[in-house]
Amino acid sequence: SYQYLENAWLYIFSTFAVLWVLVWLYRDSVEIDNIGEKYVFVTGCDTGFGNLLCKKLDRKGFRVLAGCLTEKGGDDLKRVASSKLKTVLLDVTSQDSIQKAMEWTKKEVGDKGLWGIVNNAGRALPMGPSEWMKIEDFQCTLKVNMDGVIAMTMTFLPLIKKARGRIVNVASVLGRVAANGGGYCISKFAVEAFSDCLRRDINNFGVNVCIIEPGFFKTAVTSLEPLERELHRLWNQLSPEVKASYGDKYLDKYIKVQRLIMGVVCDSDLSKVTNCMEHAVSAAHPRTRYSAGWDAKLIWIPLSYMPSFVVDLGLKLVLPRPSKSV
């Protein structure tokens, strides 16, 4: 009968769905072999996600090559890691520094090639209303987050191709939803696009490209003090006409909103992000995208699939209105 057929199809579909989930979970849990022989280069290791990731990968047995901006950052990391972990000074805004780091890495890895690179180095500030920015305010962020990721990847690509390894690029949920003015969202959208293009171009050579999309976490990037300091600097460089269009109380209201958002949304458990990074370099079948944090999964990623007017309306309701808005 019709009812019997309907039930049979439902049973078949449910069985297929359960099997698919079980197979996916199994594939997702399979790890690569010979971890102790594999080299992983991580950028931005002085503090935050990069620092924590290096310690995790070192404990797991990887041969970690940590790019640090300062000597102190490198020394502090070496003190809490095994003798296998090695550090190198690296400024991702300098092609000369990147080239030197690559030559050093080439000597370290030898004929094996480089198994993984994690492009983690980044900066967020200045952030604020787009009209408050000067060209240099955009460029200083783009130089690190966009140009730095591209330069590191292209310079190290021959070593990664040799190992048929992994490229792990740290984007952000703000690379899916443009919620802030300044260079940060622009740079993270660029990382998403660059990673997608690269993945499709080099997949035939056995190289995987993974994107990490963290939500809001308590790091130096989301620290309120520098964020507020930068907002005051931006405000002070505005012309009297632009200031008047926003009104005297706009800056204080804007800062209060930022405090509220950071207080409610920011997660202090950085391991949610580093677990994703670790999976991307150690899994036999890495995912293309990793969303880390409850806000990423429940707010930002769903928002990114919605019509633009939904995000526009949401931000309009949250952010203060300029005094001369029409």
CA distances in angstroms from 291 to 1, 66, 276, 296, 320, listed in the order given: 45, 24, 8, 6, 29
- In the sheet with 289-292, reading across from the earlier edge strand, the strands are 86-89, 63-68, 39-43, 116-119, 166-170, 208-214, 289-292
* Residues annotated catalytic, as ranges: 184
Q: Which of 129, 119, 87 is nearest to 105 (CA)?
A: 87
| Residue-by-residue DSSP string for 167-234 | EEEE--GGGTS--SSBHHHHHHHHHHHHHHHHHHHHGGGT-EEEEEEE--BSSGGG-HHHHHHHHHHH
289 vs 210: CA distance, rounded Å? 6
| Helix pair 148-163, 95-109: axis angle to 10 deg | 20
Interatomic CA distance for residues 276 and 168, integer angstroms: 10
